[in-house]
């Protein structure tokens, strides 16, 4: 019984006694296992990093798209603004062309038969009733010619008072020079003689200009930036011109009806 028992137990003992652990192989196996774990962790980290980069790129693309959309929106708004401005400029140009055809921008002499059409075809008109032999009528001409080029919205014309007796009587003009201002065909203001202009022959154009601005006979908002009429040389030219004219005591104070 004991012999049999001994024989039965001997193989496991022999197996255990013959098992030898290789330290180098064990370290190698464990190192491989550790490397595999590190590699797996690195792979997971790389995947996370790539996902984060993808999310960042997607955000950047979305932001860029929004910026592009906004820029396109700004460009469309700018294009609409430019189109509207171009339309306004075309309309303004057409209006100026129409006004130029009516005589705006220049100082013109008209006849009595043209008077009604001239003062009713424009919203603002300055009409100088003048006499070709009156020195102060000639001085007034010089100033009105300057203002005609400067204030485009107002039409500037002159008419020989002797040849327009009907309108002289209707407007009750008794002294020359007389500048009558019309708005939509109705006389609303006038400058008679030089009393309001300093009662001197060499007054600067700005004095008449300010007088006309007071009653809106000319519109200040459309004034072009030009050199002042009160520059020394310009004033000197006016003084020289005035000094060459013969003085007539009864010019500005004469009753035209006589």
Q: Cβ(197)–Cβ(234) under 8 Å? A: no
- Taking each helix axis from N to C terminus, what angle separates 205-214 and 135-150, rounded to the nearest 10 degrees? 70
The residue among 83 and 18 whose pLDDT is bigger is 83
| Average confidence score pLDDT of the chain | 76
Q: What's the pLDDT at 31?
A: 59
Q: In what order do the strands lie in the sheet with 107-110?
A: 107-110, 155-160, 124-130, 178-183, 186-192
pLDDT digits (tens, 9 = 90+) for 131-188: 999 999 999 999 999 999 999 999 999 999 999 999 999 999 999 999 999 999 999 9
The residue among 98 and 224 whose pLDDT is bigger is 98
User: Has residue 222 got a pLDDT over 50?
Assistant: no
* Total residue count of the chain as it appears in this document: 258
pTM, entire model: 0.54
Q: Cβ(235)–Cβ(203) under 8 Å? A: no
């Amino acid at each position: 019984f004991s012999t049999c028992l001994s024989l039965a137990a001997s193989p496991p003992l022999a197996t255990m006694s013959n098992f030898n652990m290789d330290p180098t192989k064990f370290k190698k196996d464990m190192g491989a296992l550790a490397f595999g774990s590190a590699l797996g962790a690195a792979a997971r980290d790389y995947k996370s990093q790539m996902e984060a980069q993808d999310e960042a790129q997607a955000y950047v693309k979305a932001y860029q798209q929004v910026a592009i959309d906004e820029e396109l929106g700004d460009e469309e708004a700018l294009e609409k603004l430019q189109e509207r401005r171009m339309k306004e400029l075309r309309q303004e140009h057409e209006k100026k062309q129409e006004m130029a055809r009516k005589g705006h921008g220049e100082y013109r002499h008209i006849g009595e038969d043209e008077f009604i059409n001239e003062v009713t075809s424009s919203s603002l008109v300055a009409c100088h009733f003048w006499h070709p032999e009156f020195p102060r009528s000639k001085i007034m001409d010089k100033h009105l010619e300057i203002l005609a080029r400067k204030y485009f919205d107002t039409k500037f014309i002159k008419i020989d008072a002797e040849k327009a007796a009907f309108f002289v009587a209707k407007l009750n003009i008794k002294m020359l020079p007389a500048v009558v201002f019309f708005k939509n065909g109705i006389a609303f203001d006038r400058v008679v003689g030089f009393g309001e202009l300093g009662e001197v022959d060499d007054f600067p154009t700005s004095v008449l200009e300010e007088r006309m601005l007071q009653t809106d006979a000319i519109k200040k908002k459309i004034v072009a930036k030009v050199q002042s009429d009160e520059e020394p040389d310009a004033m000197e030219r006016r003084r020289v011109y005035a000094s060459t004219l013969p003085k007539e005591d009864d010019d500005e104070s004469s009753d035209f009806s006589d």
